[in-house]
Amino acid sequence: MTKGILKTALLVGILFSATSAYANQSYTFTQDGFAEGAVISGSFTGNDLDHDGLIQGASFNPGGLSEITAFSVAWSGNSDIPAFSQALIDLTFFSFDTAKSTLGQVSPEGIATNWFGLTGFQYLAGLGVNSYNASYVVNAETGVNVESFGLINVTAVPLPGTAWLFGSTLLGLLRLKRRLV
């Protein structure tokens, strides 16, 4: 009976971990260093569909933003540019190296929202967008902008499938230990 439960738990763990390897991964990001203590924060969800180590896309390229399935960014605001938030529909360019915990320090990494917009606000960050390591928040109507040379820190949100694999492995090891003792 116990052997059957362990086998089932292990198979379920393997199944969930195998599917999570090809599932979308969610991340959060923050950037500080702007005037008056203003910050950028946001999240994105994506999948490296072409297995090149990058979650990337551009609304102006063939394939568009197919590797990015969700995106949001919020600007806390300061005296130069008021607070605003944007979503996937505002995203123009995005590129993130999944092996790193920062974004924008190497080409082609970067984020651009409302990049060519004439109204609203823009967030332009990283070497892939600016050709150097800086970020800008811009009021597209007035041209007023603020910049930061602070890092864009990225954190992966843990996958539930990983917990299944860990749990079933832990259960198996505990059972094995009991048998050996």
How many Å separate Cα 39 from the centre of its chain? 17
- Beta-bridge partner residues of 125: 111, 135
Q: Give dist(CA 20, CA 37) in Å, integer.
A: 37
pLDDT digits (tens, 9 = 90+) for 96-111: 999 999 999 888 999 9
pTM for the complete prediction? 0.77
Q: pLDDT value at position 138?
A: 97
Identity of residue 29: F
Query: Which position has the higher pLDDT, 147 or 62?
Result: 147
How is residue 83 written in tokens? 């607070």
The predicted pLDDT at position 51 comes to 95
Contact 28, 41 (CB under 8 A): yes
- Give per-residue pLDDT as tens, 5-29: 545 544 545 444 444 445 799 999 9
**Residue 54 β-bridge partners:** 97
Strand-by-strand arrangement of the 102-103 sheet: 84-87, 68-75, 40-46, 25-31, 152-156, 102-103
